[in-house]
Amino acid sequence: MTLRSTLLLAAAGTALLPASAAAATRHAAPDGAGTACTQAAPCSLTTAVSGATSGDDVDLGTGTYGSTASPLTTSIQPTALDVHVHGAGPGRRATIISTAVDPVAITMAGGAVSDLTIRQLSTANHRGLLLSGDTTATRVDVRVVGTGGSSACQLQGNAVLADALCVATGQYANALSASGTLSGPNAPTARNVTAVVTTPVPAGNDNFGNAISVFSVATRPTTLRLVNAVADSPNHDIRVVQDTATAGVVRSFTVADDISLAGGGYALGGAGNTAAAPTYGGDYLPAPGSAMVDAGVTEPANGLLDLQGVARSIGPATDIGAFERPLAPVADAATAEAVTQTGAGLRSRVDPRGSATTYRFEYGPTAAYGSRTPERTAATLDPARDVAETIAGLTAGTTYHARLVATNAAGTATGPDLTFATPPAPVTATPAPAVTPTPTPAPARACTVPRVKRGTTLTAARRALTRAGCRIAATRRVRSRTVRTGRVVGLSVAAGRRTTAAVAVRVSRGRR
């Protein structure tokens, strides 16, 4: 599956926002105080909204305003034109817990809300969200527990509700209503909305407990346009009641099987409608194989993102309902390039498939890897793209394993295992030991061996040889004490008075 053209979706980027640009941004926080309403010094929710002037932007961040023990009791209702009240951004909703008649009411032209979770805790006949006139709400999750005809979401005038979940759990409550009770004529639109009622009502109460309820009053005709909508109730999925003014629903690409008409009310069916029961994969997300998956129409008016911040269209067509079924990313096979003895480049391709995705390369000397590159991010609307990293600190002559790992909210994908080898280290020759040449002795000067007379003492004979410049070439033991005249001199070695040995010294002529 691939994303639909980003260019196509970009055209819808402002379709669901106020027409005028925000003049200023006012910041609120659950513990905000004062009147500055800046990011550094946020104010309370009530102060931020009540002080907004035409074109202002009211940022609630990701805070939770009110609690089950201490819910808000005052409606959030701007009094200036073109005021936009919103959470921190797609997938980062602010939460409002309230028992007010209308926890959030947007009634001034150009007004808008987005990225909010609204919980109506009152069991009385109270709404969760009211849109009236030329107003819009996108990426809102609204749930009510009230009974007696309350509605999670109520639309009047030309209001547009998109990428929204409206759930009613109290008996007799409707999930989504379009009515002429307060004003008219009314021609609202619900696009990519999931409307769910969970509690059956006794027979004979056809006007209550319906997923989508449309009715006119006196001179206030009401026609609701449904596109890519899910209507799911144990009672009627869609109920249209006409008074003296016209009441009807015009639907296309909707999931609904029980449509009830009264008083001349009408339901016009266009393309793509189905009576198949919706199936969910958890908290009203489409289950794999659900009739909602890839069954809607992809139009610029759908906007860029669904209720959870996932791309509004993943696959061949938009999913019906508030949610696009998220898909795990795709991690392609990795390749190695510019491999050296100590490093390499790793390259692959990752497809986030419509959800913010983190990815990294894992590598190591075994298939257990053990090392990883820093995590990088592919944004929600990014198409499939090439990714690369450079790794270092490798060992020469070693086989390495590597793969790409990508993770998003729908799961983790791992690319196939890659192996590559670093080149071996070069062989270094061991130098031969240095050879010290044997010096050639200098030529000796000639010596003339003196004649030694018989009876010459040992000492005198040695001295005579030394003076003549002769050296002893060899020695041997002799038994005779006789000192002969000639070139062999007998030398006696004495210890005390006794001669213990006699040494004959042969003198070589011409050597020292």
Taking only the tens of pLDDT, the chain with its 512 residues reads 333 333 333 333 333 444 444 489 999 999 999 999 999 999 999 999 999 999 999 999 999 999 999 999 999 999 999 999 999 999 999 999 999 999 999 999 999 999 999 999 999 889 999 999 999 999 999 999 988 778 999 999 999 999 999 999 998 999 999 988 777 799 999 999 999 999 999 998 999 999 999 999 888 999 999 999 999 999 999 999 998 899 999 999 999 999 999 999 999 999 999 999 999 988 999 999 999 999 999 999 999 999 999 999 998 999 999 999 989 999 999 999 999 999 999 999 999 999 999 999 999 999 999 999 999 999 998 999 999 999 999 999 999 999 999 999 899 999 999 999 999 998 877 777 777 777 766 554 555 556 655 555 666 666 776 776 666 554 444 444 444 444 444 444 333 343 333 445 555 443 33
**DSSP codes, 331-390:** EPPPEEES--SSEEEEEEEEE-TTS-EEEEEEEESSTT--EEPPPEEE-TT--SEEEEEE
Query: Which domains, from first to last, does the chain contain?
Result: 6-302 (2.160.20), 330-421 (2.60.40.10), 458-507 (no CATH)
What's residue 8's pLDDT? 33
Nearest to 237 by CA among 207, 212, 274, 204: 212
Whole-model pTM: value is 0.75
CA-nearest of 42, 10, 7, 2 to 26 is 42
Give CB contacts under 8 A, 24+ apart, made by 454-459: 454/482, 454/483, 454/484, 454/485, 455/483, 456/483, 458/491, 458/492, 458/493, 458/494
How high is the pLDDT of residue 279? 96
Q: Return the pLDDT at 23.
A: 81
Model pLDDT, residue 492: 40
